[in-house]
Amino acid sequence: MTIVLAIVVFLGLFPEKGTAFANQVFGFLTNLFGVTVLLFTFGVLAFLVYIAFSKYGDIRLGKEKPQFSTKSWIAMMLTAGLGSATVYWAFTEWAFYYNTPGLGADPQTSAAYEWGLAYNFFHWGVSAWGLYCIAALPIAYHFYVRKNKGLSLSSVVGEITGFKSKGVVGKIVDIIFIFTCLGGLSITLGLSIPLLSQGIASILGIQADFSIDLIIIIIISVIFTLSSYLGIEKGIKRVTDLNTVLALVFIGLIFFIGPTMFIISNSTNAIGLMIQNFVHMSLWTDPIENSSFPFDWTIFYWLYWITYAPFMGVFVARISRGRKIKELILNMLISGSLGCWIFFGILQNFSMDANIRGIVDVAGSLSVDGGNQAIIDVLNTLPLSGVFILFFVVLSMLFLASTLDSASYTLAATTTKGLKDHEDPTPFHRLFWCLVVVLVPLTIIFIDAPLNTIKTAAVVTSIPLIFVLLIMIYGLIKWMREDFGDTPAQVIKEQNRRKKTSKNDDKSIS
Distance CA(59)–CA(63), nearest Å, equals: 10
**pLDDT (0 to 100) of residue 502:** 46
**pLDDT (0 to 100) of residue 357:** 94
Distance CA(310)–CA(468), nearest Å, equals: 10
Maximum C-alpha span of the chain:
70
**pLDDT (0 to 100) of residue 510:** 32
CA dihedral 312, 123, 87, 444 (to 10 degrees): 70
Residue 145 CB neighbour total at 10 angstroms:
18
Over residues 81-139, the pLDDT tens digits come to 676 567 888 899 999 999 999 998 899 999 999 999 999 999 999 999 999 999 999 99
Distance CA(431)–CA(428), nearest Å, equals: 5
Residues, the chain = 510
**pLDDT (0 to 100) of residue 504:** 45
Distance of CA 214 to the CA centre of its chain: 24
Distance CA(23)–CA(8), nearest Å, equals: 17
3-state secondary structure of 268: helix
- The candidate with the shortest Cα–Cα distance to 310, out of 419, 167, 411, is 411
**pLDDT (0 to 100) of residue 444:** 62
**pLDDT (0 to 100) of residue 92:** 92
Residue type, 421: D
First to last CA, the chain: 50
Which residues have CB under 8 Å from 417's CB, separation 6+? Answer: 150, 155, 165, 166
Distance CA(58)–CA(416), nearest Å, equals: 30
Q: Is 135 left (phi over 0), alpha (psi -120 to 50) or beta?
A: alpha
Across 26-164, the runs of DSSP E, i.e. the strands, are none
For residues 117-130, one letter each, b for 16 or more C-beta atoms within 10 angstroms of the residue's C-beta and e for the rest, the string is bbbbbbbbbbbbbb
Over residues 16-29, the pLDDT tens digits come to 666 666 667 767 77
Distance CA(46)–CA(193), nearest Å, equals: 36
Distance CA(417)–CA(412), nearest Å, equals: 10
Helices assigned H by DSSP within 205-233: 210-231
Distance CA(24)–CA(13), nearest Å, equals: 19
Residue type, 500: K
Distance CA(283)–CA(279), nearest Å, equals: 6
Which residues have CB under 8 Å from 227's CB, separation 6+? Answer: 235, 236, 238, 239, 401, 405
Residue type, 70: T
Query: DSSP class of residue 103?
Result: T
Residue 211 CB neighbour total at 10 angstroms:
9
Question: What kind of fold does domain 15-503 have according to CATH?
Answer: Amino acid/polyamine transporter I (1.20.1740)
Distance CA(237)–CA(424), nearest Å, equals: 15
Distance CA(452)–CA(80), nearest Å, equals: 24
Residue 261, judged by CB atoms within 10 A of its CB (0-12, 13-18, 19+), counts as: exposed
Query: Residue 60 pairs with which residues in a beta bridge?
Result: 324
Residue type, 165: S
Residue type, 39: L
Q: Which residues of the chain fall short of a pLDDT of 70? A: 1-23, 26, 80-81, 83-85, 165, 183, 186-187, 224-225, 227-237, 417-424, 427, 438-459, 461, 497-510
Report whether 146 contacts 401 (CB < 8 A): no
3-state secondary structure of 324: strand
Distance CA(371)–CA(411), nearest Å, equals: 32
Query: Residue 324 pairs with which residues in a beta bridge?
Result: 60
Residue type, 502: S
